Amino acid sequence: MNFYKTEAYKSFKEKYNHSPFDVMAIHPYNTMDTDENNDESYNMLKSAIEGVVIKTMEKNGDGNIPIWITELGDQNEDDEKNAKILELYMKTAYEMPQVTRFHWFKYLYYGSNYSIVDQYGDPRPSLYAYSEVVKELSEK
């Protein structure tokens, strides 16, 4: 959040009396994990966003600006673990009204299992998890 300290930000805000952006985009990697049973072992996403991002935004008069998670993912050897982490990230992000967009890192990523489909376009467990969570959250 060092951009709040830049002269460019300060001069824009002084001149126009508002921030030079309409949305705060963040990449909160490594804020969640599961254990060997795919149970949540830690979840720092909400505290990172509320305790750092939102507080910093509010301190600088940007508390009403929406937050977009524009890149997030997890890369493990275990596709089931990646699917569970995706589900947990989405459900946690949904709990925060200021988070209005959530984007997983890649649909297809050759040479990595960050993506929700493999190099042949075949679905990984993450794609099914994504679909199920979207259905569940859209019913709320």
pTM recorded for the entire structure: 0.85
pLDDT of 106 over the 90 cut: no
Q: In the prediction, which pLDDT does 140 show?
A: 76
Domain that holds residue 108: 2-138
Which tens digit of pLDDT belongs to each residue from 65-90? 999 999 887 777 788 998 999 999 99
Total structural domains within the chain: 1
Q: In the prediction, which pLDDT does 109 show?
A: 80
Which tens digit of pLDDT belongs to each residue from 31-64? 998 998 989 998 999 999 999 999 999 999 999 9
Task: Tell me the CA distances in angstroms from 14 to 9, 21, 37, 44, one per residue in order.
Answer: 9, 14, 52, 34
pLDDT of 111 over the 80 cut: no
Task: Tell me the CA distances in angstroms from 46 to 10, 74, 104, 130, one per residue in order.
Answer: 28, 17, 17, 19
Contact assessment for residue 114 and residue 74, using Cβ atoms and an 8 Å cutoff = yes
Mean pLDDT of all residues in the chain?
A: 90
Q: In the prediction, which pLDDT does 96 show?
A: 94
